[in-house]
Structure 1
């Protein structure tokens, strides 16, 4: 389709009842929602007289952005812009739409990681520092450990500034336990091989253009015995709950986006992007193909599969 005509459609309004409060909007995904308007403007400016190109073009392949296709080379810039737009306010809607349940998911995520004293963590797409803070707090509270270290890695400097500000108000601000690094998860070029004990990415991998490259880079930087963990929205299998979740997602979330953020279309994109991410079994297979060893099925469903924790070991 022509990039110049790239627009976000709106689904017809449907009567519905509210879904359970355990439905949640992802943290980094919240970071991904506001870019659609900016991206559309950029595409229009760069493609005034463009004609439609098939997605199979070898010169300019396309990738998904919600339910729409965009030129692959433009997605990174769109994601960068989105993080810049919402860096200082993106947590608010997460709490409003999830009733705070995303906080419980993240707490469980760190307990599942169960870091030991001295663990060296790379937290990718973690700009605002909420996973990193939980990691350091867990090490301190559980082990009395102040030797654990975390590198907060994010593609957008605005998000990293929010994380730095958050940490500046804590006991960790004057220590060497936390550092910040800007870069692309698909190319961790400044991180040597076999240097990290753990790698986490929470609600961020879906924003990446090439998920397979992200997984391969995660495998490369981990030490033998290191653990990869991903918290991401997933697929609800129960048909009754799935139907209710769809109603909540496509009717309630965009309406709340309009009411709270005056931005319905971006939230429409958000729920579409969730549906485009691979379901649990497919993503677990991708993790195996990147070289990781998974235990059992390789994932744990949270809240009926609204989200899932994926785990793999570099052995």
Structure 2
């Protein structure tokens, strides 16, 4: 870990980022779907469907969905019959997810408060590890990746869905203007919270480019790493295997 880490466009002490990110997600938890709709124009639902198809969950598997508090990915994974553990560092996000599961009549999910950097699960416990739109908010990303590798069984697979760097000429400028200027205003209008939405957009800009993040996954011990850009890199599905 370096002395400072990014919190949006600021550089802060690691413990300060952890505290501030916790505040952001406590603030937006009740409006999380609105947040994702505002940031993606509603496209996040299709991206998550595609992401889960890539994971290919199977009945009887043990899958850890990290930073999955509101249940969006877990609900999709659970349709396969796999056993899903939903972990999130933020209790407010988990509360939203458990309420949503109850309303939908979805039983059997395990909900646990957990820090991606210091998991309490034993070595080689899960068949797959998923994290969607969460890795960029982790304070020590390399440490979280190493923990993901540790808790996976041999032959286990890692899948990450995250916003990335748009590479399509023209579209990058349009999206940049939309995200920086319109999304915080939508956050204020829909949730009464412009600052949290401003941070979330800035955190995307500070996240490593696709080749660098793929290299970080390899450095954590994963092999056969792959990156699948969507919409020119607006988002990307990253994957790797543990052997």
- Report if TM-score (shorter chain) is over 0.5: yes
State how 1:147-166 maps to structure 2 within 5 Å: 148-166=82-100
SS in 2 for 1:227: strand
The superposition leaves residues 260-307 of structure 1 with CA deviations (integer Å, 9 ceiling, x where unpaired) of: 233333322221110000010000000000000125xx1101111100
| 1: CA distance, partners of 2:162 / 2:178 | 18
How far the C-alpha of 1:97 sits from its partner, in A, is: 4.3
SS in 1 for 2:121: coil
- The answer on 1:290 being equivalent to 2:220 is yes
* Residue in structure 2 matched with residue 76 of structure 1 by the alignment: 18
SS in 2 for 1:268: helix
* Residue in structure 2 matched with residue 9 of structure 1 by the alignment: none
* CA shift in 2, pair 1:262/1:88, >3 Å: closer
The superposition leaves residues 56-107 of structure 1 with CA deviations (integer Å, 9 ceiling, x where unpaired) of: 7xxxx22110111112222212222222222222212322443321000000
How far the C-alpha of 1:247 sits from its partner, in A, is: 1.2
- The answer on 1:275 being equivalent to 2:205 is yes
| TM-score, L = length of structure 2 | 0.94
How far the C-alpha of 1:238 sits from its partner, in A, is: 2.2
- The answer on 1:167 being equivalent to 2:101 is yes
* Residue in structure 2 matched with residue 314 of structure 1 by the alignment: 242
Structure index of larger Rg: 1
Alignment partner of 2:115 out of 184, 193, 197: 184
* Residue in structure 2 matched with residue 45 of structure 1 by the alignment: none
Alignment partner of 2:187 out of 236, 240, 257: 257
In the alignment of these two chains, the number of paired residues is 242
Note the residue ranges of structure 2 that are not aligned, 5 or more in a row: none
| 1: CA distance, partners of 2:95 / 2:68 | 11
SS in 1 for 2:11: strand
Which one has a larger percent strand, Structure 1 or Structure 2? 2
Contact 2:69 2:86 in 1 (8 A): yes
* Residue in structure 2 matched with residue 232 of structure 1 by the alignment: 162
How far the C-alpha of 1:239 sits from its partner, in A, is: 2.8
State how 1:1-315 maps to structure 2 within 5 Å: 61-137=3-79, 139=80, 146=81, 148-173=82-107, 177-188=108-119, 190-295=120-225, 298-315=226-243
Note the residue ranges of structure 1 that are not aligned, 5 or more in a row: 1-55, 140-145
When structure 1 is superposed on structure 2, of 203-212 and 71-80 the one drifting more is 71-80
| TM-score, L = length of structure 1 | 0.74
* CA shift in 2, pair 1:82/1:258, >3 Å: closer
SS in 1 for 2:57: coil
SS in 2 for 1:88: helix
